[in-house]
Structure 1
C-alpha cells in the first residue's frame, strides 16, 4: 500500500654567543644535572607511568599527558551511547570507552573532558585538534578512510541501518514503504544508503532531510514523516524518547553494514595504537573472563599467561605503548570488560535492551564479530 608572522647584527651576536656556550659545554663534558635535552623532557612532572620506552611517545599522547586530561569527542545526546543524566554526568557506551582511555593513561577515569559533536563537526574537530579522539557512532567506510585524513582505530559496535515506523501502519517490511515520507539526517551514510535501497528496488519515497539526528527524531515524533531511518541502535534509542514507545516498531530489514568505531588524526600512528589496544584490552578481558570485580584478584592469582600479559603481570606491553604496563588493568578496573560495558549501556541492564547479535564474542553461542587481537 502506498504511503505518502632585530637587526642582523643582533642576530649574529646572539648566534655567536650560543655557539660559544655550546663549545664550552662540550669541552667540559656533561654531568648528571646538565644532560642533553631529550624528546620526553617536556613531560617532566606530568602524571607518571611505571615505565616508558624512550622515543615511543607520539605527539598526541605527549599533549594529553601535558594537559592532564583526554579530550574526547562524543555524540551530543544519544541514549545508550553518549548522554548526560539528571545530575549532568556523561553516561553511555562510547562515554565508557573514553573513560577507559583516561584510566589507561592516567589511572583516572575522570581525567577526561567530553566534547559533544554533531555529525558535521566530528571530522573537523578532530583535524583542528579540539579533540584527541572521537568515540561517536561513526561508520568506517572507504571514502572516510581515504579522504577525511583520519584513521579508524577499530570497531567497537557492529550496526546496520533500519527503519522505525508506527505500528498502526501495520508494516512488515521496508519494501512496503513505497511512496512514504522518510526522515533522514543530512550528510550521513544513512542518507546515501536510503537512496541506494529504494533505487535498487524501483521504489519511490520522499526524503525529509534534516540537519541533525535529534531533528530527525523530533520530525518523526511530530508525524512529519511516516518512517525514520538510521542505525538500528539509534532507532532503539529514539524509540525510548517517544511518548508511547510500545506504539512504534523497528522493521526487520537491515539495509547496510555500519561498523562503528573510534577515529583519530592520521599523522600520529602511535596514538592510533593507544586507542586500538585500549579497546582491544576490554574485548580480551571479556573473552578471558576478567571483570571489574575480579581483575584485582586475577592480577595476583591468574596462571593463564594470556591474562597475566593482559594485566601487566608478565611482559612490558604497556611500555611499548608509552603507558604503564598496567594500562589494561587500569582500564578494566574503571569500566569493566566489553561485555559489562555493553550490558550496562545497551543490553539487558539498560533501557534499550539490545541483543548482542553481531556484537557477541566470536566464540560465543551464537557467535558474533567481536574478536580480541592477541597480546604477546
Structure 2
C-alpha cells in the first residue's frame, strides 16, 4: 500500500547506499534465483495457493522478471513483507526487487534511495464498510473507528480527508491486511481504509462479500509499482523494461497464444520484432539474450492477460480496467517504444 519516511528513513537510505554497489544481475545469475519481496498475502495480488505456490498480479511480474533473466519463471524466492519491513528488506539486499502494492512517492524515490521502475496499477485510497452500518459516503463517517495499516501513507491521507470534511474518527492501527480483515470482521473498527484494489481483494475473501460496500470516495492518488535500489542502473533497466514488455505486448496484440508464431520469424511490424528479439540488439543492451522479453511474456501472458486472470472482472476480485486500460483504450498504460 503506502509509506512512512519519518521513522528510520536515514537507516533505510544508508542501507540502500551500502547495497547499491553490488551488480544485482550478477548476483541473481550466480545464485540462480530471483529474490522478490511481496505482501504478507493479498488475494489476487500475491498469496500462496493450496499447494503453497505463490500466485497473483504482483507475483506474475516477479515470474516474468525471473524468466527474462534466468530463463525460468519458477526460479523465484518470495519474501513476505509488511508496510513496516518492505523498505529495509530491499535496502539491505535481502530482496532484489519489491513487487507489492507500494505507492510511488517523492520521498521514497529520493530520500529512501529507491527507484520505481514504472506503474503497474493506478489506484487510490478508499473505504469499505458493512452495509449494516447504513452509510453511503465516507463523508458520513463522523466519529467512526477506522482500521489503518501502520507504515503507510494511509494515516496522512485519512487525517487530511477527515479534517477537510470537518469530521472526526478514531484510528485502529493494524500491521497486515490479514490483521485488518480479522479486526474489521470482528467489529473492532467500523470501516477499513486502504487502496481500493486492496479493499476489493479483501472483500472477495469474505464469507458474504455482498454484505460489505466499498464507499464511492477515492481520497488519494496511489500509483503502485515495482521498485529496486538506487545505484544499480543496469538492474533498474532490466526491471523497468520487463514491465514495459508486458504492457507493450498487450498493445501490439502479442499474447501467450500467438507469441510462438510471432517469434518464429520476423513479422511486418518492426516493433514486435524488436520486442521478441527477431530484429535488432535490444537484449544485448540489457546484458541479456535476444529472447528475454519473449520469455517474460510467455511466463504469464501480456499485461492484459495477467490482469484478467488474477484480478479482472471475471475473478472474485472483480476489478475493471479503468485507469489501467491501455492508452489506446482511454487508460493510462503506456510503454515507451521498443527501438
Q: Give the distance between the partners of 2:24 and 2:151, measured in 1 at CA.
A: 28
Please state if 1:263 is matched with 2:227: yes
Task: Map 1:69-80 to 2 at 5 A.
Answer: 69-80=33-44
Question: Is the 2:249–2:255 Cα contact (8 Å) retained in structure 1?
Answer: yes
Provide the residue aligned with 1:338 in structure 2.
Answer: 303
Secondary structure of the 2:43 match is coil
Provide the residue aligned with 2:293 in structure 1.
Answer: 328
Provide the residue aligned with 2:209 in structure 1.
Answer: 245
Aligned partner (choices 271, 286, 289) of residue 306 of structure 1: 271
1:200 deviates by: 1.3
Decide which structure has the larger Cα Rg and report it. Answer: 1
1:181 deviates by: 0.8
Q: What are the superposed Cα offsets for residues 22-58 of structure 1, whole Å, 9 maximum, x if unpaired?
A: xxxxxxxxxxxxxxxxxxxxxxxxxxxxxxxxxxxx7
Q: Give the distance between the partners of 1:187 and 1:115, measured in 2 at CA.
A: 18
Aligned partner (choices 321, 332, 338) of residue 356 of structure 1: 321
Q: Give the distance between the partners of 1:263 and 1:287, measured in 2 at CA.
A: 23
Question: Is the 2:250–2:304 Cα contact (8 Å) retained in structure 1?
Answer: yes
Q: Give the distance between the partners of 2:338 and 2:67, measured in 1 at CA.
A: 19
TM-score by length of structure 2 reads 0.92
1:318 deviates by: 0.9
Secondary structure of the 2:135 match is coil
Which consecutive residues of structure 2, in runs of 5 or more, have no partner in the other structure?
A: 1-21
1:106 deviates by: 1.5
Aligned partner (choices 177, 198, 223) of residue 162 of structure 2: 198
1:335 deviates by: 1.0
Q: Give the distance between the partners of 1:94 and 1:192, measured in 2 at CA.
A: 25
Aligned partner (choices 59, 78, 85) of residue 95 of structure 1: 59
Cα RMSD between the aligned structures?
1.0
Please state if 1:82 is matched with 2:39: no
Please state if 1:215 is matched with 2:215: no
1:290 deviates by: 0.3
TM-score by length of structure 1 reads 0.83
Q: Give the distance between the partners of 1:111 and 1:243, measured in 2 at CA.
A: 34
Provide the residue aligned with 2:200 in structure 1.
Answer: 236
Which consecutive residues of structure 1, in runs of 5 or more, have no partner in the other structure?
A: 1-57
Task: Map 1:120-135 to 2 at 5 A.
Answer: 120-135=84-99
Provide the residue aligned with 1:374 in structure 2.
Answer: 337
1:168 deviates by: 1.6
Provide the residue aligned with 2:251 in structure 1.
Answer: 287
Q: Give the distance between the partners of 1:271 and 1:165, measured in 2 at CA.
A: 42
Q: What are the superposed Cα offsets for residues 222-271 of structure 1, whole Å, 9 maximum, x if unpaired?
A: 01111100001111111122221110010111000000011111011111
The count of aligned residue pairs is 317
Secondary structure of the 1:363 match is helix
